[in-house]
Amino acid sequence: MRIAFVTTQSDSMGGSHVHVRDVSSALVREGHDVKVFVGGTGPFTEQLAANEVPFHSLSHMVRPLSPNSDIKAIGELTQALLDFRPDIVSTHSSKAGIIGRLAGRKAKLPTLFTAHGWSFTEGVGRSAKLYERVERIVAKKGGTIVCVAEADRQLAITKKVARPDQLVTIHNGMPDYPERAIPGLGIPMIVSVARLDTQKDHPTLFRALAKIKDKPWTLELVGGGSRKEEFQGLARELGILDRITFHGVQTNVRPFLSRAAVFALISNYEGFPRSTVEAMRTGLPALVSDVGGSREAIVEGKTGFSVPRGDVDAVAAKLGQILDSSELRTSMGEAARERYEKEFTFDSMFAKTKKVYQNVIALQR
């Protein structure tokens, strides 16, 4: 197969970037002809180069909505696709999904969109309605849409964004690594791998931890973002700053997960968080917000717990329950690892993804 991947910007490494990197790298290793089309250069293109994945930098592809730049990006990408002539155009993230599908259709190429969480899901904010309308218009032209969570597939059906026959669910899968946690030992360390921005609900996590200050815990935060000083100020106000470490952006989160006893991902909205799968792979119990597809990763009460969005008391209660019992942490961690091996390996996800690609290509022949 000759596959073109399209995603928005190279200046960060979000879940969609990791997905594109891993899938494109695996395809290259199998001998397929691959090229990634992406805005600018940065950490993402550096990782593509390290994995010997060819890429093409787009000068007009930008993250925010910008009619002038977006029109130019469609034209620029259309010509680049005509030059490459792929069998399929695989687009990722909302903005690149729209531009990539429009450019692919102009070039008369089969297109596919992977929605790594919808931009119109509850909790996103004021731009949700606009993205919902645009996604509905683009999806009407047809094409397969891969959702990374069943909740996202159901949301698209409920909102009439796409027809049920256009939508398929493939949960994120992760390559395995040897690092393992021993969650039942020592003073419990909580780890959260999450950007310091509006998508993640650090204030609710902090307020919950302030309610259980009497328990022995520390919190390690992995992730960068614009709200670091704001969150540090809140932690100081709550009297828990001395128990929290802000590590910023880390290219390898496995050492943090392997030292931890509990994984927490408290969010305002999600697709299907890769960080939860990483925690399960390491053998950690997980506490997640019941938003988007987050709860699809866990088995309630067996591998972790889900809590309502923004519910401080629920977060405090469930964290307290996990922190109080080394036996519970151990059993949940073992069950989480078993669930990863059964449901969320990279090989399983990769095989399903290739099958979808092959089906889309076959329909055009």
Asked if 132 and 216 sit in the same domain, the reply is no
Asked if 247 and 359 sit in the same domain, the reply is no
Is residue 323 included in any domain, yes or no? yes
Is residue 182 included in any domain, yes or no? no
Asked if 48 and 140 sit in the same domain, the reply is yes
Asked if 318 and 245 sit in the same domain, the reply is yes
Is residue 184 included in any domain, yes or no? no
Domain total in the chain? 2
Q: Is 300 helix (H, G, I), strand (E, B) or coil?
A: strand
Question: pLDDT tens across 226-259, in order?
Answer: 899 999 999 999 999 999 999 998 889 999 999 9
Specify which residues 15 forms β-bridges with. none
Asked if 156 and 243 sit in the same domain, the reply is no
Asked if 138 and 155 sit in the same domain, the reply is yes
Q: State the CATH number of the domain containing residue 113.
A: 3.40.50.2000
Asked if 133 and 214 sit in the same domain, the reply is no
Is residue 11 included in any domain, yes or no? yes
Asked if 339 and 353 sit in the same domain, the reply is no
Is residue 237 included in any domain, yes or no? yes
Is residue 179 included in any domain, yes or no? no
Is residue 218 included in any domain, yes or no? yes
* pLDDT values of the chain reduced to their tens digit, one per residue, 365 residues: 999 999 988 887 788 899 999 999 999 999 999 999 999 999 899 999 999 999 999 998 887 777 888 899 999 999 999 999 999 999 998 889 999 999 999 999 999 999 998 888 777 767 778 888 888 888 887 789 999 999 999 999 999 999 999 999 999 999 999 999 999 888 899 999 999 998 999 999 999 999 999 999 999 999 988 899 999 999 999 999 999 999 998 889 999 999 999 999 999 999 899 999 999 999 999 999 999 999 999 999 999 999 999 999 999 999 999 999 999 999 999 999 999 999 999 999 999 999 999 999 988 76
| Single-letter amino acid, residue 84 | F
Question: pLDDT tens across 133-177, in order?
Answer: 888 888 887 789 999 999 999 999 999 999 999 999 999 999 999
Tell me which residue range forms the domain holding 71: 2-173+345-363
Asked if 125 and 145 sit in the same domain, the reply is yes
Q: Provide the H-helix boundaries in the chain.
A: 15-29, 43-50, 67-84, 94-106, 128-139, 150-158, 202-211, 228-238, 254-259, 274-282, 312-324, 326-343, 346-363
Asked if 241 and 356 sit in the same domain, the reply is no
Computed on alpha carbons and rounded to an integer, the radius of gyration of the chain in Å comes to 21
Is residue 151 included in any domain, yes or no? yes
Q: Which pTM was predicted?
A: 0.88
